Structure 1
Amino acid sequence: MLRALLSRLPRLHPRHFHLSKTHLSTTSHLPFLRNVGIFAHVDAGKTTLTENFLDVSDVVSNPGMVDSGTTVTDFLPAERERGITIQSACISFGWGGPDKSDTKINLIDTPGHVDFSVEISRSVAVLDGAVLVVDGVEGVQAQTETVWNAMQRMGVAGNLREEVDAPLNPIPCVGCVNKLDRVGSNFYSAVSTLNKKLKRQNTTAANAIPIQMPLIKCELTNEVVAGYPEPVEGEFVGVVDLVSDPMRMIVWEDQGKGKRPGLKVGEVEGFIGERAEEARMEMIEMLAEVDEEIEEHYLEETVPPQSTIIKSLRNSTINNKAMPVVAAAALKRKGIEPILDSICSFLPSPLDVQSPSVHSSSPETSSKRVKKKKSSKKSKKESDYPLGHPLNSSLLALAFKVVHVKGRGGGDGRVVFARVFSGELESRTTLKAINAEGSDDKVERPSALLELKGGKMTMLEDGVARCGEVCAIVGLKKVETGDTLVLSGDPATRGVRLNGVSAPKPVLTVKLEARGSEDEKKLEDALRILCVEDPSLKVETGDAADESGMGGGSGILLSGLGELHVEVVCDRLIREFNCDVKVGEPAVALKEALTVGTVLGGEELINFEREIAGNRIQAAVNLRLELISADSDSDNMEGQTILADNSIVLTDEAKSWLQLDFDSEIIDEGDEEEDEHNAVENKCATALISGIKGALQRGPKGNELTNVRCTVLEVSTENGYGDDQAGAIRAAANFAIQKLLKNSSSSDAVVLEPQMTLTVNVHNDYIGNVLSDFTTRGGVISEVYSVNDSEKQVMVGKVPLKSILGYSTKLRSLTAGSGVFAAEYCAHSEHRNV
């Protein structure tokens, strides 16, 4: 197997760090560890690629097939039937070099469909590197851009920078042009789409740099020729390694049906050699734009040494200045080994990334970052590394995913997937779980730790997950997605938490009804479990369901990210949980927002008093409601609203009355989350916040309010401050907001509906039909372009979600079954038919 690149990778060794011998033994694995995610548009070949990784690393004897439902990572019945990835799946395997020092790769195979974007969000939170896969024919597609944008917004940690307080970097990435066995595939055209369509946070291009030149067996002559600079019709058989010196020709030879292709490595010569020299110089020229050492060689017209090229590629990748790109045909099992070499050579280990951002309520563990001091020759001690750095010995881990597996963990079978950032996680130790709000009342004891093998799990060796590792934990009963895990009683982690995992807002709702009374409890229990697994699901019962306008009678409202998302959840209810359930027609999830310039309240105290069971309760609040707008990088957001969480701001007067122990300034937006966290220790403040949040669930037109800033100006009770006044304050806050909304005019609020970006890929013969149908649905076309000068066209536009419910059936009829589409939520816009 091809592992030469790995052998040339400069390896860090524990001797480079001045640590205690005890801690040294627990961190020696770090240079040889890669936590990597694989991302792509739907059907670009992620899962097939993953299966081949397992094959060449001898984890499986034969790679599974997506079409036959035999893959390791796609293990849910719905995944195997539909041939798509629904849940992110983890797999661990080793990839060794000639020095026999295996690199362990923890790989996460993520979904490409936007309806399961929460899986991408929580994967991004724990990864150090990524492989971005694109189709050799289609290049960058709609959801390629979606997953790329998710990779640009690092949620928990970032990469090393000159200054520790600099903005967090995106995830370093290696590119892979897959499906080069397809007719019409074009390696360099696909690379071109990476640079044209993918932008980094600083608006620079992805800087995709081909480090291989494809080799094609020509149909006319049956000879192997260079696929550069123009594409050649024929079979993809191999690549030229442009990094090695001398360059090598790597060819995969078919060994018969079901057998792994043979790997043949030889010298590059003749016409292929000439073309390879041209491709190599193009690679060096692109590297010279981001690396000064390579630039010097380029300007002096000298060829940089192989070691310099490898070093440059690694540094440029880790610092997000470049994306090395390789070629593959995963279905034919070609190009697999060089991808693994690139993962080991160019993607970072846990030592190469910045420690995670830690929020803290304790001064001694403050999350405020300071500038990195100039390098010193003095040895670093273990205590010099920040909490969460792999060389810090205090346990800090993130629970990024929760699933339920029958027969595992006891109880409801809860299995928690966690990334250990620092310290060691051992079974039978007492852990404290802190949620996103900072509550740390969950104390747990894991019964066992498991190694990640997709749908199969095995006991972790020694029952210990070391720093930098990803593992599965059983025996935890309360831990949820986004919780921070620390050792109970460790003073170094008192009051700390990580950023957690963000979940997108639901946009589509269906009404569920149990067919029999005996199924109602079963349905509620099943939905509780599914909501723990998937934070992007929302379930409403009782009054909210009855007042939804989605049909009379009792029922449950289930909201998700799209038709496929909701369909898969309902399918799981029936199959996995044996719920006999009736599913209503889908409806979009409407929101309400105050109009620009509207300000409600803020003039006087609004008094609330009631007599309950002979006891009089009284409180009064003065608060102000107004619109806040979320920032967006989109160029064309006219008439559209990006949803933002409602915020609660307390003035110094209100905080003084509530006896809150923090700075008495008006709270800035950036500090609201911290101040709400501090308020949870105060019963009256907690009650006030609870009352406000509850009232904002229903706007003047019956929908949940969004993008509202509620400023509490004053709080008062006849009996003064005291914990016994909490109930009255909660009721007064709720009553005041309801009164302000009820007395508002019809022009003070607007109903918003989800707006989708629709991308349709269709043959030229049917583009007219698609465009005509799109305009009748109220869509606005933004772009129509051809795919690689082929007979296919791509239409991109924005359309209300309600207009494309059931669109897949209509598109099939419009295009004789050949059209495919992707719909992604982009914003909310005013709902015209209220």
Structure 2
Amino acid sequence: MAREYKIEDYRNFGIMAHIDAGKTTTTERILYYTGKSHKIGEVHDGAATMDWMEQEQERGITITSAATTTFWKGRDGKMRRFNIIDTPGHVDFTIEVERSLRVLDGAIALLDANAGVEPQTETVWRQAEKYHVPRMIFCNKMDKTGADFYRSVEMIKTRLGATAVVMQLPIGAETEFKGVVDLIEMNALIWRDESLGAQWDVVEIPEDMKAKAEEYREKLIETVVEIDEAAMEAYLEGNMPDNDQIRALVRRGTIDVKFHPMFCGTAFKNKGVQPLLDAVVDYLPSPLDIPAIKGIDVKTEAEIERHPDDAEPLSMLAFKIMNDPFVGSLTFARIYSGKLEKGASVMNTVKDKRERVGRMLQMHSNSREDIEEAFAGDIVALAGLKETTTGDTLCDPLKPVILERMEFPEPVIQIAIEPKTKGDQEKMGLALNRLAAEDPSFRVKTDQESGQTIIAGMGELHLDIIVDRMCREI
């Protein structure tokens, strides 16, 4: 079976933000408009597709990064393949964010238009800097009381020390938020409320916004021409770049992490999501646009690169282990090079063990489809792996390589835990060990003096949820 989508048509990206900025809602809207969800799941109903663990649906927060594959037709009419990872915003789950950033090519940073840049926004931003992840910014919740787009733009400069390239201006704010001004096409998009955001009208920029739109378009062009000498010279001679040139420059600057294109809308009210998806196609990198992954050749210990090409030897990174009630243990992996077939034997170079891929699944949040093979750039879930843990490299046994290891922070809080009855001791031990295999920021040990079982994690909520899961899953 040949590859269905060319690798340049892939976009592997995540959505990152402070808690409650609307990540899961935005992802739900993306799945709805890209045709993967038949109805929009609301977080406050406990029906969000990406929040598939019971505790997530009860608490209305995202704990584990669910990976999903979906498709979007870009402005050019060509279909693109999106692999999206929904990451938690709560500080206790920072490890999940770090882990997913490691395997992404780009990210959308979400801001709450009322709060702007919040503490956890700064944390995830720093993590993305560490992995040099190209980012776009979506100023969400423009319909909220106190929403202020321009203050958020200012905070990106002052709090994050980053350059936001404003691509859209909001038309109205709070309850009056209607749509956006597109600063490249210089027109206005007004969403029709009754169509669940599926339809919008392209109209002229409102009279009272024309001067502001001209001012911000000028700023946009000034920023983007700086990254290209020829464009800069032409601009200084009075020649304005055309719209396609502007898009090409924005793409280049975004991928080189020189600046970050910024958009706005309200995911909950279904306004602004489709232009954001077009922007993912236009400005975020495909696996070909980012540097090849580096690794260590196991035989020679020399540093080598693996390019995103199906013809190269297989190399992939396991970035998450999950226990699925139907399939058992699932290993989520990003394939960097080569291709993988169901039933293949692969080498875990970190553990120095061979593993056999039993089933290979394409995940859509909590539903899944079996696939026979996967290619460079894919994110897949593998069933049947016995030894593999988070951060391990899986590769072609004949061309062994160890990709860069992931680094995990030390736990910050620990508590003693004991079962209600002696008979549950063994069950508890097994459950704790399984949870520790899934989550490297969670540790289990036995106190030598008291004989108590001690669990350690990234915060109270983290440990609460671990205990909660253990009680449900035992």
TM range (shorter): over 0.9
Matches within 5 A, 1:344-359: 344-359=281-296
Q: Which of residues 423, 443, 446 in structure 1 aligns to 2:357? A: 446
Quote the residue 1:829 is aligned against.
none
Q: Deviations over 1:438-457 (max 9, x none)?
A: x41x2111111111111222
Contact 1:388 / 1:396 at 8 angstroms: preserved in 2? no
Quote the residue 2:415 is aligned against.
510
| Secondary structure at the counterpart of residue 240 of structure 1 | strand
Q: Which of residues 400, 411, 414 in structure 1 aligns to 2:329? A: 414
Q: Which of residues 545, 570, 586 in structure 1 aligns to 2:467? A: 570
Between the aligned partners of 1:89 and 1:63, the Cα distance in structure 2 is 17
- Note the C-alpha offset of 1:421: 0.3
Task: Supply the AA of the counterpart residue of 2:362.
Answer: E
Contact 2:31 / 2:70 at 8 angstroms: preserved in 1? yes
Residues 1:528 and 1:269: Cα distance change in structure 2 (over 3 Å): closer
Matches within 5 A, 1:233-244: 234-244=175-185
| Secondary structure at the counterpart of residue 195 of structure 1 | helix
Q: Which of residues 155, 159, 163 in structure 2 aligns to 1:207? A: 163
| Secondary structure at the counterpart of residue 437 of structure 2 | helix
Is 1:401 the counterpart of 2:320? The answer is yes
Between the aligned partners of 1:414 and 1:532, the Cα distance in structure 2 is 10
> Structure 1 stretch 282-291 or stretch 41-50: which is displaced more?
282-291
Contact 2:142 / 2:174 at 8 angstroms: preserved in 1? no
Q: Deviations over 1:633-662 (max 9, x none)?
A: xxxxxxxxxxxxxxxxxxxxxxxxxxxxxx
Q: Which of residues 248, 254, 264 in structure 1 aligns to 2:187? A: 248
Larger Rg: 1
Matches within 5 A, 1:452-491: 452-460=363-371, 463-488=372-397, 490=398
Is 1:424 the counterpart of 2:333? The answer is no
Is 1:105 the counterpart of 2:82? The answer is yes
When the two structures are superposed, what TM-score results if normalisation uses the length of structure 1? 0.55
Between the aligned partners of 1:250 and 1:399, the Cα distance in structure 2 is 41
Q: Which of residues 13, 19, 36 in structure 2 aligns to 1:42? A: 19
Residues 1:434 and 1:26: Cα distance change in structure 2 (over 3 Å): same
Q: Deviations over 1:744-771 (max 9, x none)?
A: xxxxxxxxxxxxxxxxxxxxxxxxxxxx
Contact 1:57 / 1:94 at 8 angstroms: preserved in 2? yes
Between the aligned partners of 2:346 and 2:70, the Cα distance in structure 1 is 28
- Note the C-alpha offset of 1:464: 0.6
Q: Deviations over 1:555-591 (max 9, x none)?
A: 20001111111111111111122xxxxxxxxxxxxxx
Between the aligned partners of 1:313 and 1:131, the Cα distance in structure 2 is 15
| Secondary structure at the counterpart of residue 294 of structure 2 | coil
- Note the C-alpha offset of 1:99: 4.6
| Secondary structure at the counterpart of residue 45 of structure 2 | coil
Task: Supply the AA of the counterpart residue of 2:409.
Answer: P
Matches within 5 A, 1:14-29: 26=3, 29=6
Quote the residue 2:144 is aligned against.
182
Q: Which of residues 154, 160, 168 in structure 2 aligns to 1:192? A: 154
| Secondary structure at the counterpart of residue 376 of structure 2 | coil
Between the aligned partners of 2:333 and 2:444, the Cα distance in structure 1 is 26
Task: Supply the AA of the counterpart residue of 1:179.
Answer: K
Quote the residue 1:281 is aligned against.
218
Quote the residue 1:690 is aligned against.
none
Q: Please provide the CA RMSD for this pair.
A: 1.8
Between the aligned partners of 1:151 and 1:64, the Cα distance in structure 2 is 28
- Paired residues, number: 474
| Secondary structure at the counterpart of residue 449 of structure 1 | strand
- Note the C-alpha offset of 1:324: 0.2
> Structure 1 stretch 59-68 or stretch 123-132: which is displaced more?
59-68
- Note the C-alpha offset of 1:294: 4.0
- Note the C-alpha offset of 1:290: 3.5
Contact 1:400 / 1:419 at 8 angstroms: preserved in 2? yes
Quote the residue 1:390 is aligned against.
309
Contact 1:27 / 1:467 at 8 angstroms: preserved in 2? no
Quote the residue 2:437 is aligned against.
532
Contact 2:144 / 2:175 at 8 angstroms: preserved in 1? no
Task: Supply the AA of the counterpart residue of 1:215.
Answer: I
Between the aligned partners of 1:302 and 1:214, the Cα distance in structure 2 is 28
- Note the C-alpha offset of 1:285: 2.0
Between the aligned partners of 1:345 and 1:98, the Cα distance in structure 2 is 9
Task: Supply the AA of the counterpart residue of 2:159.
Answer: K
Between the aligned partners of 1:303 and 1:524, the Cα distance in structure 2 is 67
Tell me, which stretches of 5 or more residues in structure 2 are unaligned?
A: none
Residues 1:478 and 1:309: Cα distance change in structure 2 (over 3 Å): same
Which protein has greater RCO, CA pairs closer than 8 Å, 6+ apart? 2
Is 1:315 the counterpart of 2:252? The answer is yes
Task: Supply the AA of the counterpart residue of 2:358.
Answer: S
Percent identity over the alignment? Answer: 36
Q: Deviations over 1:382-441 (max 9, x none)?
A: xxxx43443552100111100111220xxxx11000000000011111111122xxx41x
Between the aligned partners of 2:28 and 2:313, the Cα distance in structure 1 is 36
Contact 2:5 / 2:80 at 8 angstroms: preserved in 1? no
Quote the residue 2:40 is aligned against.
63
| Secondary structure at the counterpart of residue 332 of structure 1 | coil
Q: Which of residues 128, 135, 140 in structure 2 aligns to 1:173? A: 135
Residues 1:401 and 1:29: Cα distance change in structure 2 (over 3 Å): same
| Secondary structure at the counterpart of residue 403 of structure 1 | strand
Task: Supply the AA of the counterpart residue of 1:249.
Answer: A
Matches within 5 A, 1:607-686: none
